[in-house]
Structure 1
């Protein structure tokens, strides 16, 4: 009898701890949010682990629903997050899946292979999901904290509702969050994810594919959406094209400049705290093939002669009788523009109080073969925008010496030429790094097919190698129907996830599990800086245990959580 009672007690306990209801309609598993849950995955362990955060961080919880029967119209909400003396609020969103039609090469040794070709990424808070018998569906729970959140252990509960046949059902799952007496301040890491919101095509995807007129009330409303989501995810550098947002008049070689639209965009991002630096968009573009010289973008009167010139990539090809063309930097028309525009821009930035925040791009990814044209344009910048730092992503190093103030090498170039960049730092130059379509192989990146911890590790790399900023080109370079399109763009030339890390809805933006993880990595950087202030040797030990080299990392999620816990406990002393 005692043995039978023990078995029954054990079975009942397993049911409760396993998180599913007595009638076995669903299993509810807590799964680490760094774990990507594939649709074909069948086996899970319910790891009821405490989520550990500093004040100012967002606690992320991932709950996996496995249907033992078909369930329709599933919705979820956080019904309580409370400690003995305080309460928090939380939000939920079902994790959507995107199709990856082509895998990238050369692959990482840690690449995730999906038999279905579908990978989790967007977080969709406003959708009801249905699952078939045996299907799994992850739910993302976000609980933000603030600098004033009371430290302590919080118990939370999420409620999931759904329909089985004609019957409405309800299930609940507990989770725990420990908030440490450690407080994040303004992020010291500079982060830019380039936004394509200047494109009417991009904005149309937020408006049921209907055109959004530039600078209309709806245009600015959609820009505000971008500013909000970027600020919430620690994006504190914003690219604004000064040439594109300026309104010009031109008469007998003389220009006037109206910077009102530039100011409005900068003001939107400044208001929400996403403008630690203003990243002046590129002034020059390739004149042809990849290694061809850079030409300067020049506004000129729209006439038969200027229509024959090479057009710039400005979405507004012609505005107010002005056509935007590309010209060699030694063309007198280019010189005339630069010598008027750059001093006027400097004077305006000074009046607005933004000059010390402003950086200027010249052209993207100069190579050794077009470096000379880049250097010539850089000389104009330094002459007519004195005190403004030149920043650019680079694919080469030594050929650009003296032309750049903020160097942003791609991660593998940073690795290969690390000693060169260390010398630049000693000269007072800023060093960032970037990732994009590359590097590939075993380097960390934010590709959809990579484990989430590698997205997070990008900013541990920032810390370990003293790179004070990070750049990526693809916040929102969407295709039509991005949520349903093949995520591997351009016949696989762009690895899945390279072109965007957020998704479009109708006049709304959806975050992704990668964007949430990127934010957490940025917060890790600040925590490492806080540890360093107390004990540099301790900080080095923490980062060295995770980042073994530029392209070699400890991939254990459990070990990473152990190190994070030790960091928070050390900072709590």
Structure 2
């Protein structure tokens, strides 16, 4: 605790895995030193508590890495519905209240208040690059009064190691909802302002390890009440002519070019049949004699001749667009989201329609019944994390996984109420089981359940008491663009863990990497059995870093 003219401010260095609650005690141990590879993004926190209210305080950083450092204030978000009933007990809290989550950008000139008796935190991000200097770098975080007097300071020692993280190989998509952006910011869909905002949100996604972008050929038939509809975000122009259908791909081309310019590598085309059964067509708007009208939707039989005829005209032209733009190996297709066993016949019929025109293109879908794979109707299944075992046992090639609000017992997830360790552990699990892709439905879903109405995600974090807080989005709509959540950043740490493990595998082989991960565990790591302590994650990653460094040093000095 530092004291200056009667002002008492207590500060403590803690890891990025800690969650600091304003109304609780700070139990996290001091975390003051760590290592990172030379092109890694590394975060830690400085928790602070004032004995009495400090109206105006400034926080700054002094370091030779200063240009790589950004500060955020860890904000609090309300949750009325933090966890589902009958949860597994592995939660920080189960009561409604305020939870640490949004990371508000903080300039070094901005004033920060401290409230008496409440713990809060500053999030410190160090975005290293290939040009970052190796070595030990002190990072001094200084809290000053409005008069410039030092109230408290903490120094973190980050050792930057010479090795570089390899490129991310995991396919990672967080479903991107362009309509939510337009509605929240009150801009016209695909207006210039909308395109600008889309670019900013894509950039934030890419910065946090998203490399696969949900692309709305037509308005995605996701999370929509039967008979209802979401705002039209259709990238493909459809015109009815005397000869049938004509298609325009200018907006789709702009979308692809924008995504690529922001770092997106792959594109997944939105589902061509409705969710939970593949029984209908998505909403498709077409132009006829200068007027827009709905051509297909809930009233459309998915297997009827009208929609089959439409797809027979559309898909070959889409394939031509793909080839003209060099996307042959960069696109994925979807049939329908989350079909269940009673939908197998309808799903198979819909998949067959697509396969007539899309041979050679990968097709993925979130579904958890092994029968879909055994029947050969889905080449790349994406089972939920708590139902993945049968797919693992069958040695499914190129297996993906996902989780959402239903995965709340035993497995990893990222609800507000979950410890950040439960979020980050998935990196080690995905590596062990050689999972090729991870899918999540909520990058920025700011609607109530079934997309009935827009919500304010700063006030409603559970889709209107539908899903536990933290399920539907990992970014907030700030006044000047996206605001990250600590959950998004911690998940990115998990992706970086995978890359570090893959680098070590180059030197010692996969079996030895797995042995290193599990050498201090009582039972082997699985998706449902895993260490739950922050310390294990932090110590294991340090161990991996040191082993990488030792092997790279041997290669450099034979």
> The TM-score by the shorter chain falls in which range?
0.7 to 0.9
Residues 271 and 330 of structure 1: CA distance in aligned 2, closer, same or farther (over 3 Å): same
What do residues 295-324 of structure 1 show as CA deviations (whole Å, max 9, x unaligned)? 223747679xxxxxxxxxxxxxx9745544
Q: Does 1:135 align with 2:135?
A: no
Q: Write the distance in 2 (CA, Å) between the matches of 1:408 and 1:499.
A: 19
Q: Write the distance in 2 (CA, Å) between the matches of 1:383 and 1:439.
A: 35
Aligned counterpart, 1:230: 205
Check the 8 A contact 1:19/1:27 in 2, yes or no. yes
Q: Does 1:68 align with 2:51?
A: yes
Q: Does 1:284 align with 2:261?
A: no
SS across alignment from 1:370: helix
Residues 301 and 92 of structure 1: CA distance in aligned 2, closer, same or farther (over 3 Å): closer
Residues 452 and 234 of structure 1: CA distance in aligned 2, closer, same or farther (over 3 Å): same
Aligned counterpart, 1:265: 255
Q: Does 1:203 align with 2:182?
A: yes
1:366 to 330, 336, 339: 339
Residues 560 and 203 of structure 1: CA distance in aligned 2, closer, same or farther (over 3 Å): same
Aligned counterpart, 2:421: 453
Which aligned pairs between 1:554-569 and structure 2 lie closer than 5 A? 554-569=531-546
SS across alignment from 1:215: coil
SS across alignment from 2:491: helix
Q: Write the distance in 1 (CA, Å) between the matches of 2:363 and 2:543.
A: 39
Q: Does 1:548 align with 2:535?
A: no
Q: Does 1:174 align with 2:159?
A: no
Residues 505 and 26 of structure 1: CA distance in aligned 2, closer, same or farther (over 3 Å): same
SS across alignment from 1:284: coil
2:471 to 498, 502, 515: 498
| Residue 173 (structure 1) shift | 2.4
What do residues 382-403 of structure 1 show as CA deviations (whole Å, max 9, x unaligned)? 2101211111100322134312
Aligned counterpart, 1:90: 69
Q: Write the distance in 2 (CA, Å) between the matches of 1:528 and 1:458.
A: 13
TM-score calculated relative to the size of structure 1: 0.85
Check the 8 A contact 1:253/1:336 in 2, yes or no. no
Check the 8 A contact 1:58/1:144 in 2, yes or no. yes
Q: Write the distance in 2 (CA, Å) between the matches of 1:232 and 1:445.
A: 21
Greater Rg by CA: 1
Q: Write the distance in 1 (CA, Å) between the matches of 2:3 and 2:35.
A: 24
| Residue 229 (structure 1) shift | 0.3
Aligned counterpart, 2:316: 343
What do residues 274-297 of structure 1 show as CA deviations (whole Å, max 9, x unaligned)? 22x2111110104xxx5x552223
Check the 8 A contact 1:111/1:451 in 2, yes or no. yes
Residues 193 and 319 of structure 1: CA distance in aligned 2, closer, same or farther (over 3 Å): farther
Aligned counterpart, 2:241: 251
Check the 8 A contact 1:339/1:384 in 2, yes or no. yes
Q: Does 1:439 align with 2:407?
A: yes
What do residues 316-338 of structure 1 show as CA deviations (whole Å, max 9, x unaligned)? xx974554424223311111101
Aligned counterpart, 2:42: 59
Which segments of 5 or more consecutive residues in structure 2 lack a partner in the other structure? Answer: 219-233, 448-453, 551-558
Check the 8 A contact 1:248/1:256 in 2, yes or no. yes
Which aligned pairs between 1:216-227 and structure 2 lie closer than 5 A? 216-227=191-202
| Residue 357 (structure 1) shift | 0.7
Which aligned pairs between 1:414-493 and structure 2 lie closer than 5 A? 414-420=388-394, 422=395, 424-425=396-397, 430-479=398-447, 482-491=456-465, 493=466
Aligned counterpart, 1:191: 172
Aligned counterpart, 2:450: none
| Residue 40 (structure 1) shift | 1.9
2:513 to 539, 559, 565: 539
Q: Write the distance in 2 (CA, Å) between the matches of 1:19 and 1:55.
A: 34
Residues 150 and 278 of structure 1: CA distance in aligned 2, closer, same or farther (over 3 Å): same
| Residue 339 (structure 1) shift | 0.5
Q: Write the distance in 2 (CA, Å) between the matches of 1:155 and 1:112.
A: 32
TM-score calculated relative to the size of structure 2: 0.87
What do residues 450-497 of structure 1 show as CA deviations (whole Å, max 9, x unaligned)? 110111112222111111110000011125664532423332x31110
Check the 8 A contact 1:105/1:440 in 2, yes or no. no
Q: Does 1:109 align with 2:89?
A: yes
| Residue 105 (structure 1) shift | 2.3
Q: Write the distance in 2 (CA, Å) between the matches of 1:298 and 1:226.
A: 25
2:141 to 134, 148, 158: 158
Q: Write the distance in 1 (CA, Å) between the matches of 2:507 and 2:474.
A: 34
Q: Write the distance in 1 (CA, Å) between the matches of 2:28 and 2:242.
A: 75
Segment of structure 1 superposing worse, 36-45 or 146-155: 36-45
Check the 8 A contact 1:20/1:28 in 2, yes or no. no
Check the 8 A contact 2:101/2:487 in 1, yes or no. yes
